Amino acid sequence: MLTARDEDDLLTALYAGSFDQPLWQTFLDRLRARLGARFAGIIFRPPDRPPNSPVELFSGTRAPPALNQLYREELYKNDPFLGFQMREGRVYSLPELFIDGDPVHETFRRDVLAPSGIRFMRLVRVSEPSGVSTWLSVSRDRSDFSAADSALLSRLATHFRIALRSHIALERERMRSSIADDMMRRLAFGWISLDANGCVVEVTPQAQRMLQYGQGLRIARNGRLVASDPQIDRKLSAAIKDLASAPGGRPRAMSISTDPWGEMLLAPVSGEVTGTAGTPAMIAYLQGDTQSESDRYEQIAELFGLLPSEARLALALSRGMSIAEAAQSLGITVETARNYSKKIYAKMGARGQNDLIRYILTSVLALA
C-alpha cells in the first residue's frame, strides 16, 4: 500500500526528471520499486520519427538487444500499440489492447512480449500540444497489477503531462541557446553580463574562451571585469560607472586588445532583468580572436600565396583599417602600404578593400 510519502517521492522525482541523466531515471527506478514491477519505462514517439524508432527510457529488465533490433527491423509492423487509439490519461491493461484469436496480436505476444518477460502490463498515454506522444508503462511476469496501481498511474499521468510540457519547452530553449552560441562563436562574438559595480554575473562560452586566451580582459578576485592595460581599464571603469548611474545611457565602444585582436561594446540592459547570481545592469559585447596576429597572418599567407609583409597588411585591412591606419599600426609608410595593397589585390583577385574583406571572411579562415 502506497503512503502519501511514497507518492510525494514519486512526484518529486517526476518533476525533477528533466535534469536527470538519463532523463527521469530516478522517477522510473522509484516507480518500479513502489509497484514491484519488473520493468518501468517511458516511450517517446516524436511526430518526425518513424514508428520503429521510438525514444525509450527504462528501469529494470528490458528486452534482449537482439529482440530490440528485430523489432526495429520487422516486428514493429505487428505492434498493436501503434494502431490502437488509446484515450489519453486512461490506464490500459494488456487484455484491453489485444484481440484474442487475432493472429497478428498473438504473434506479437509470442515473439515480443513473452521473450521480454511481459505477462502483465499497465500502459497510459500522455500527449503534449507540440505533438509529442508519450507512453508510461509498467510490467510484471508473475502477478497482475491492482486497481490501486492503475489509479496511481492515472494520477501520475496528470503530473507527467505538466512535467513533459516543461521539459519540451526547456529543450527548445536549450536548442535556441545552442544555435545562438554557435552563431556567436562563428562570428567571434561573446558577451558578459555585469552588475552595477562591474562584477561579472554571467559569461557565455565564447566570451569565456576570449578571457582564457588573454584578450586584454580578465575577471579580478573581487569578481570585477578589468582590462589588462591600465589606460583601457580606466576607460572601462569610467564607462561602467556612467552606465550604472544613468541606466539609459548610450553604449560605449572600446578596443581592448590588438594582439590578439579584441573589441568591446558596453551597453545597458534593456528592461527589468533579475537572476539568482546577481542583477545584470549592463552587457559587455565582445568580438575578437583567440589566436595571435602571427597565427592569423601566416594562415592568410598560406591560403592566398602572400608574403609575410603582405599578409600582415591584408589582415589589418580585413579588420576595416584604412591604408593610413594599417601603415601606422605596422610601422611602415603609407606609400609602402599602398604598394603592398596593389600586390595583395592582384594575388587575391580582389578589386579593392571590400573584396579583400569578403574573401577573407568567407574563406576557411572564418572557421579558425
Q: What's the pLDDT tens digit per position in 7-24?
A: 889 999 999 998 898 999
Between the alpha carbon of residue 119 and those of residues 50, 61, 167, 177, 366, the distances in Å are 27, 13, 32, 44, 59
The pLDDT of residue 231: 92
Peptide bond before 54: cis, by omega within 30 degrees of 0? no
Evaluate the CA torsion angle 207, 213, 214, 219 in order and state its sign.
positive
Alpha carbon 122 to its chain's center? 35
Residue 9 grid coordinates:
517521492
Helices (H), the chain: 4-15, 25-35, 65-73, 80-83, 94-97, 103-108, 147-186, 205-212, 230-245, 293-304, 308-318, 323-330, 334-348, 353-361
What phi and psi values does residue 291 have, to the nearest 5 degrees? -125, 155
The confidence score (pLDDT) of residue 127 equals 83
User: What pLDDT sits at residue 334?
Assistant: 93
Q: Give the pLDDT of residue 195.
A: 93
pLDDT the model gives residue 292 = 59
Beta bridge partners of 193: 202, 283
In this predicted structure, what is the pLDDT of residue 69?
A: 73
Helix axes 353-361, 308-318, angle to 10 degrees: 90
Q: What's the average pLDDT block by block, 10 residues per block, for the chain (368 residues)?
A: 69 92 93 93 79 83 72 68 76 84 80 84 85 86 93 93 88 79 69 93 85 80 91 93 86 81 85 62 82 73 90 86 90 93 92 87 65
Write out pLDDT tens, residues 97-142. 877 777 877 887 888 888 888 889 899 998 877 777 788 999 998 8
